[in-house]
Amino acid sequence: MQPFTPRPLTLACALALQLVQPAMAADASEDEDMAAIYGDKATVSIATGSKQTLRRAPAVATVVTAEDIAAMGATDLDQVLETVPGLHVERIAGSYVPVYIVRGIGGGGITNPQILMLQNGIPMTTAYAGDKGLSWGGLPLENIARIEIIRGPGSALYGADAFSGVINIITRTAADTNGTIVSAGGGSFNTRDTSIRHGGKLGPLDVAAFLRVGSTDGQKSIITADAQTLNDSRASTHVSHAPGPVNVGYDSIDGNLDLAYDKWRLRTSYKLRDNVQTGAGVNSALDPNSTSRNERITSDLSWTDPAISQDWGGGVLLSYLGFKDETPRLELFPPGTRLGANFYPDGLIGGPSRYERQFRTSGYANYSGISGHKLRAGLGHDLVDLYKVETYKNFLVVPVGAPVLTGPQVDYSNIQPHIRPQKRRNNYVYVQDEWQLARDFALTAGVRHDHYSDFGGTTNPRFALVWDASLDITAKLLYGRAFRAPSFNELYGVNPVSNGNPNLRPESIKTLEAAVTWQARRDLQVNLNAFKYDAKDLIRVLPNSVPNTGFTNVNIGALRGHGMELEVNWDVSRNLRLSADYANQRSVDEATNQDVGYAPHNHYYGRADWHLGNGLLVGGQVNRVADRKRALGDTRPDIADYTTLDLSLSSERSKSGWAVSASVHNLFNADVREPSIAPGTAIPNDLPMAGRAWYVQGSYRF
C-alpha cells in the first residue's frame, strides 16, 4: 500500500475546516445565547398538531415566546397580539371587549366569532355568541409559555371558527418554571396584582401551579357623546352620562394547575372576572352604575405517546369547560330617558345571564410506516350545553314602537327571554398526510368533516406545498377552506325586534396564500407572504319582509380580500435585536363593491431589544395603524391614524433571586381611537383608548 500523500485540495479543505470550526462554534454559541434570551421561536406545533420548524411549517404562522413578552414589557394579552403581522386589536363599546381583526376580517361592533382562540389546544369560545364572552378581561401573561398564531384558515385541523385564524395560548409546565416565583406589580389606573408560580417535582409528578389576584380601575378616557346624547337632543332631556369617562375596571382571579406523570397530563384552570364595568355601555350609552361577572373553569386530561410502536403514535383527550356570564343589571338607557311619547323614570334596565358547559372527547393516531409519509387521523365528539338562561328587565320589547315599561326589574325568563336553553352536538373526523414528494418538496394535505346536530355537515380541506428552493430560501403555496358555525344567538335568539333564524348555514371562506422565507444571512431573516380570500354566506341582520316587524339573521353577506405581510428579523449582535413588520390589506363587500371598513389598510410595527450588560434589557417598540375606512352608510371622515411608542426596562434575575421590570406605553400620549359602529350616531367620536400608562413589577425566586 502506498503511503497517503495529502493532495493540495485536501490540504485546503482541511485548513478551511480548521478555520471554520471556531466560527461555527461561535455561531452555535451565539444561537444558544439568542435562544436563551428570546425562547424557542424556530418551531411551531399549531400548523399540523406536531412540532416542526416554523420555516417549513405548512402555514403562515407566528410564535411569541414568554421571553418576547417580557422583552416588550407587555402587561396585557391584547398588547402582545397587536404585534402580530396582519392582526389588529379593535374594541366594541360594550365592556370594551377586544376584537381581533385578522387580514381585514372582523369589526363592525361584533366580537370575535371568526377567530378561534385555544388554551392548550382547547377552544375558549362560548356557544351563545361564538366569542370569548362580554366580560372577557384578558389573560395573565406571567403563566404563558408561548403563543402560536395561524393567520388564515385552520378548519381542516381545528374545525369551527378557525375562519380567519387560530390563536393557541400555551401555559407554563413544570419544565418552564424552576422553583417558586412570587411577584407583585402596579401602575396607572390604580392597577395592582400579585402572583405566585411554582414548578417542580412532587414524587413522580411534575407539578406546575399558578395563582394571580389583581384589579384595576381602568383608563378614564372621555366619551364626549353617546346614544343617550342623541335621545336627549330629540326629547329635550338632559340625562346622558356623556361627556363622561369610559368604565373599564374589573377584579380578577386566575389559577392554573398542571400535573404530568409519564404519558399523562391533567390540567385545570380557573378564571374569574368580577365587577366588570360596561365600557362605553352595552347599548352605546354610558353606564357607570352596572357591572357583570364572568367565571370560567376548564379541565382536560390527556394521554400521548409519540412512539406506541415503531411506526405508530397517538393520543386521547377529554376536556370540560364551564362558563358563567352573569349580568344581573345593565343600564341600557339612564333614568329619565324619553323615547318618543314613552318616559322611563328608572331608565331601561336589562339583566341577561347565561350558563354553559362543554364536554369534548377526541383521539388521534400518527403513522410513519410508509416511506416519505407522516399520516395523522383523528376523530372527536363535542357536546355544548347552554343549560340555563336568565332574563331580568323592567320592560317588554314590542315589534312596533318604543319598549313598554312594566315596572321594577323582574324575571322575564319565561315571558320574553333573550334566548332559551339549547344543546349542540358535533361529531368530526379528519385525516392529514405530510408527504415528502421529493428531496426539496413537501406536500401537506388534510380534510375534516364536521356534522352538527343543529345545522348539518360541512367538509373543509387544506393543502400546503413547501419547497426548499435553496439553502436559504423556502417557498410555500397554501390553499384552505374554513367555516364558522352559527352561534346560538344567531340561530335561536328570542327578541321581537331581532330574531334568530334556525335555518342558518355556516359561514365559509376560501383562502389562497403564497409565502417566501429568505435567510439572507445567518443573523437576518425576511418573510414575505401574499393572500387572497373569498368569504360567502356571512350572517347579517336584515329587516323582515313585513314592515315594522323587526329584523332576522340571514346568510347574505359576502366579501373578498387580498393583501400581504412582510417581516424582517435581524440579530445585529448578541446584545441587539431589531425586528419590523408591515401588513397591507383590502377587503370589499361584494354586494356594494365598497370597502368593508374598520380594519387598517396599512399596519406598521418595529421593535428593538438592547442588552446593556449587567443583566439589563432595554426595549422599545413603535406601532402605527393607518388608513381605516368607514363602513358603508357612515358619512364621518375616515378613522384617524395613530402612532404609539412603548419603552421597557427589565433586569435578569440576580443571584439573590430578584428581578424587576418597568414599562411605559403610549409614551407620547397619542390620541388612539377605535371605530364606533356605523353610522356613528350612537358614539360619533369613536372609542378613545388609554393614553400614557406605566407599570412596574418585581419578582423573587425562592
- DSSP labels for 520-584? EETTEEEEEEEEEEEEEEEEEEEE-SSTTS-EEEEEEEEEEEEEEEEEEEEEEETTEEEEEEEEE
Query: What is the DSSP pairing of strand 165-171 with strand 115-119?
Result: parallel
Query: Given this model, what pLDDT does residue 16 score?
Result: 35
The tens digit of pLDDT for each residue in 120-178 reads 999 998 999 988 887 888 899 999 999 999 999 998 999 999 999 999 999 999 999 88
Distance CA 323, CA 320 (A): 10
Q: Is the pLDDT of residue 35 over 60?
A: no
Residue 300, number of CB atoms within 10 A of its CB: 19
Query: Given this model, what pLDDT does residue 111 score?
Result: 79
Cell numbers of 618, please?
Answer: 432595554
Query: Given this model, what pLDDT does residue 38 score?
Result: 53
Query: Given this model, what pLDDT does residue 6 score?
Result: 40
**Structural domains of the chain, ranges and CATH numbers in brackets:** 30-609 (2.40.170.20)
Q: How confident is the model at residue 22 (pLDDT cuts 50, 70, 90)?
A: very low
The tens digit of pLDDT for each residue in 632-675 reads 999 999 999 999 999 999 998 888 899 999 999 999 999 999 99
The stretch 287-311 carries a mean pLDDT of 96
Cell numbers of 626, please?
Answer: 393607518
Average pLDDT, rounded, for the chain: 91
CA angle 439, 442, 443 (to 5 degrees): 150
Q: Is the pLDDT of residue 277 over 90?
A: yes
Distance CA 217, CA 43 (A): 39
Q: Is the pLDDT of residue 24 over 60?
A: no
The tens digit of pLDDT for each residue in 199-223 reads 999 999 999 999 999 999 999 999 9
- Under a CB-based contact definition with an 8 Å cutoff, are residues 663 and 678 in contact? no
**275 three-class SS:** strand
> How would you list the strands of the sheet with 61-65, edge to edge?
61-65, 144-151, 165-171, 115-119, 122-123
Percent of the chain with pLDDT over 90: 82
Query: Given this model, what pLDDT does residue 475 score?
Result: 98
The stretch 536-542 carries a mean pLDDT of 93
Closest-CA residue to 569 (of 558, 560, 578, 561) = 578
The tens digit of pLDDT for each residue in 357-388 reads 999 999 999 999 999 999 999 999 999 999 99
CA distances from residue 646 to 83, 114, 187, 261, 525 in whole angstroms, order as listed: 12, 29, 15, 42, 24
The stretch 504-508 carries a mean pLDDT of 96
Q: Is the pLDDT of residue 437 over 50?
A: yes
Q: How confident is the model at residue 544 (pLDDT cuts 50, 70, 90)?
A: confident
Cell numbers of 460, please?
Answer: 373543509
The tens digit of pLDDT for each residue in 577-594 reads 999 999 999 999 999 999
**33 three-class SS:** helix
Query: Given this model, what pLDDT does residue 400 score?
Result: 74
Mark residue 374 as left, alpha or beta (left: phi above 0; alpha: psi -120 to 50; beta: remaining). Answer: beta
Residue 475, Cβ density class (10 Å: 0-12 exposed, 13-18 middle, ≥19 buried): middle
Distance CA 23, CA 26 (A): 5
Percent of the chain with pLDDT over 70: 94
Residue 80, number of CB atoms within 10 A of its CB: 21
The tens digit of pLDDT for each residue in 312-354 reads 999 999 999 999 999 989 999 999 999 988 999 999 999 999 9
Distance CA 470, CA 472 (A): 5
The stretch 487-500 carries a mean pLDDT of 86
Q: What is the 3-state secondary structure (H, E, C) of 276-324?
A: ECCECCCCCCCCCCCCEEEEEEEEEEEEEECCCCCCEEEEEEEEEEEEE
Best-predicted range by mean pLDDT (24-28, 31-35, 536-540) = 536-540
Q: How confident is the model at residue 11 (pLDDT cuts 50, 70, 90)?
A: very low
Distance CA 649, CA 394 (A): 52
